[in-house]
């Protein structure tokens, strides 16, 4: 496996400056075959450890789709995100493509190697942990209070509204509340879903868990955020995976939940951005007018499935990074830790506007490629260190939890966090705050909202 990763990286270096269509097509084809085979091999190597598989399998398949398969989409000038949104039809076949493929292959190879090195020792062993059951009245009480806090923060105070400037922010409070209402509350809701569908297999409990989860999703949709809708689909898929590790058949309620969540995601996804744009226009528009505004613009938009794929940031953002590398300064060391001027400069360069509603990130692979001055031999160990630290910290942090059920639901949320981390551009301290809140909520769930159900203890 390490040999295959190194071989892929060496192959990537040979793609630098590739311009000929035959050689470029060969490079992309070889990258797709290599990436697919390595992803299959990686998924098999991490499968023996249940927690490692939950934690890292979404990351494996994210790398495959975002950087391997989307390289094919970006190579075709008639079907590339860059061309459709920002470009003029030439960027996908410019010399930047060969450099972007090199940087992507180098960063992804480092990520694959980090996954492979983390496959056995880091994650907690479930057989060494006790079984637990949630204290349902207390947990649902906490969730209901949290939903009220989320509603006040989003709809009354305007905290965490996508594209909106926060007014009246309270230092150290606003950020914590927003992050908790995004990731911390998601973890608590995941606990109710897992408890209802896996532990109890109860239709009534599944309906209750679905109700509070739907309230969470609808609150986000109401402010123009679609991420929680996607998170719930991923959580349901990971819960379904849990049954593949046992001899039990998944309950019908799980299939219904997954079908409803996935269908809602496909139907609603393309409307949400336009609804948010309408909402940001001001208070003069009623809810009905906002919905009508979204329908009009979404009717001429691409299909929801394509829009979802386009929002999986990956190769096209690395291509943009290489294309605009001469127009923007390389990230400064401060940009690695906190958002600095780089993020604004990159958004301005790509969109051509300093007043863009949506920031454009170049992904961690694109960011660190620029930070390392696009030198693969420097970029590879830096990216390996970043990804290995992220995985090691995520795996090790769960060892402080005492119940199997808490570890499993925490791994599901951290799996989402690891993928979301890849979308960012540096700002590791900001991502660290999100990680810390996830772990703190997991500890509270483990210590105060769970009960021991192991008959031998």
Quick: pLDDT tens for 309-326.
Answer: 667 788 888 888 887 777
Q: Are 414 and 144 within 8 A, CB to CB?
A: no
CA end-to-end distance (rounded Å), the chain = 42
Short-list 407, 399, 331, 328, CA closest to 365: 331
* Main-chain phi, psi angles of 441, to 5 degrees: -65, -40
Q: Which residues have C-beta within 8 Å of that of residue 150, sequence separation ≥ 6?
A: 181, 185, 216, 219
Give 133-151 pLDDT, tens digit per residue: 899 999 999 999 999 999 9
SS3 percent helix, strand, coil of the chain, rounded to 5, is: 70, 0, 25
Kindly state the average pLDDT of the residues 427-439: 92
Give 176-196 pLDDT, tens digit per residue: 999 999 999 999 999 999 999
Kindly state the average pLDDT of the residues 383-412: 93
DSSP reduced 3-state for 317: helix
Q: Are 407 and 126 within 8 A, CB to CB?
A: yes
Kindly state the average pLDDT of the residues 383-394: 94
Q: In the prediction, which pLDDT does 136 show?
A: 93
Query: What is the distance between the alpha carbons of residues 448 and 254, in angstroms, rounded to a whole number?
Result: 27
Residue 37, pLDDT above cutoff 80: yes
Query: What is the distance between the alpha carbons of residues 56 and 415, in angstroms, rounded to a whole number?
Result: 6
Kindly state the average pLDDT of the residues 61-75: 86
Q: In the prediction, which pLDDT does 71 show?
A: 84
Q: In the prediction, which pLDDT does 187 show?
A: 97
Residue 86 — pLDDT band, cuts 50, 70, 90?
very low
Say which residue the tokens 């409070």 belong to.
173
Kindly report the three-state secondary structure assignment for every residue of 11-28. HHHCCCCCCCHHHHHHHH
Query: What is the distance between the alpha carbons of residues 16 and 154, in angstroms, rounded to a whole number?
Result: 47
Query: What is the distance between the alpha carbons of residues 449 and 136, in angstroms, rounded to a whole number?
Result: 8
Q: Are 209 and 189 within 8 A, CB to CB?
A: yes
Q: In the prediction, which pLDDT does 107 show?
A: 93
Query: What is the distance between the alpha carbons of residues 334 and 273, in angstroms, rounded to a whole number?
Result: 31
Residue 85, pLDDT above cutoff 90: no
Give 330-362 pLDDT, tens digit per residue: 787 888 887 767 776 776 666 555 555 556 678
Give the CA distances from residue 411 to residues 237, 239, 335, in Å, rounded to whole numbers and listed in that order: 13, 11, 28
Residue 287 — pLDDT band, cuts 50, 70, 90?
low
Considering only residues 344 and 287, tell me which one the structure prediction assigns the higher pLDDT. Answer: 344
Kindly report the average pLDDT of the chain as a whole number: 79
Cβ neighbours of 67 (radius 10 Å):
28
Q: In the prediction, which pLDDT does 2 show?
A: 55
The rounded Cα 138 to chain-centroid distance in angstroms is: 30
């Amino acid at each position: 496996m390490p040999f295959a990763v190194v071989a892929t990286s060496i192959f990537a270096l040979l793609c630098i400056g590739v311009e000929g269509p035959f050689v470029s097509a060969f490079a992309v084809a070889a990258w797709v075959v290599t990436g697919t085979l390595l992803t299959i091999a990686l998924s098999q190597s991490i499968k023996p450890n249940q927690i490692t598989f939950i934690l890292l399998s979404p990351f494996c398949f994210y790398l495959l789709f975002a950087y391997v398969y989307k390289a094919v989409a970006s190579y075709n000038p008639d079907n590339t995100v860059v061309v459709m949104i920002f470009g003029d039809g030439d960027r996908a076949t410019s010399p930047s493509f060969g450099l972007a493929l090199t940087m992507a292959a180098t960063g992804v190879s480092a990520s694959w190697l980090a996954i492979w090195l983390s496959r056995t020792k880091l994650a907690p062993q479930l057989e060494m942990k006790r079984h637990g059951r949630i204290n349902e009245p207390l947990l649902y009480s906490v969730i209901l209070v949290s939903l009220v806090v989320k509603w006040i923060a989003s709809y009354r105070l305007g905290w965490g509204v996508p594209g909106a400037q926060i007014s009246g922010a309270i230092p150290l409070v606003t950020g914590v509340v927003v992050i908790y209402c995004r990731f911390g509350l998601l973890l608590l809701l995941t606990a109710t879903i897992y408890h209802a569908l896996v532990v109890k297999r109860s239709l009534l409990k599944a309906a209750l868990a679905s109700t509070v989860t739907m309230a969470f999703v609808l609150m986000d949709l109401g402010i123009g955020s679609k991420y929680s809708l996607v998170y719930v689909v991923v959580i349901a898929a990971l819960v379904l995976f849990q049954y593949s590790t046992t001899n039990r058949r998944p309950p019908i309620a799980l299939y219904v939940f997954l079908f409803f969540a996935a269908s809602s995601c496909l139907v609603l996804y393309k409307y949400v951005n336009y609804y948010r744009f309408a909402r940001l226009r001001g208070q003069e528009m009623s809810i009905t007018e906002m919905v009508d505004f979204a329908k009009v613009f979404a009717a001429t938009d691409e299909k929801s499935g394509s829009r979802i794929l386009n929002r999986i940031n990956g190769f096209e953002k690395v291509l943009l990074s290489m294309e605009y590398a001469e127009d923007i300064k390389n990230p400064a060391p401060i940009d690695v830790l906190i958002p600095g001027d780089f993020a604004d400069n990159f958004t301005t360069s790509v969109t051509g506007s300093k007043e863009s509603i949506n920031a454009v990130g170049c992904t961690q692979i694109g960011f660190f490629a620029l930070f390392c001055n696009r030198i693969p031999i420097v970029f590879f160990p830096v990216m390996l260190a970043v990804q290995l630290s992220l995985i090691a910290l995520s795996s090790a942090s769960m060892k402080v939890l005492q119940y199997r059920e808490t570890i499993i639901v925490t791994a599901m949320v951290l799996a989402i966090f690891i993928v979301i981390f890849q979308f960012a551009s540096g700002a590791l301290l900001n991502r660290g705050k999100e990680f810390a809140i996830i772990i703190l909520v997991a500890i509270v769930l483990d210590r105060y909202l769970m009960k021991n159900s192991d008959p031998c203890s």
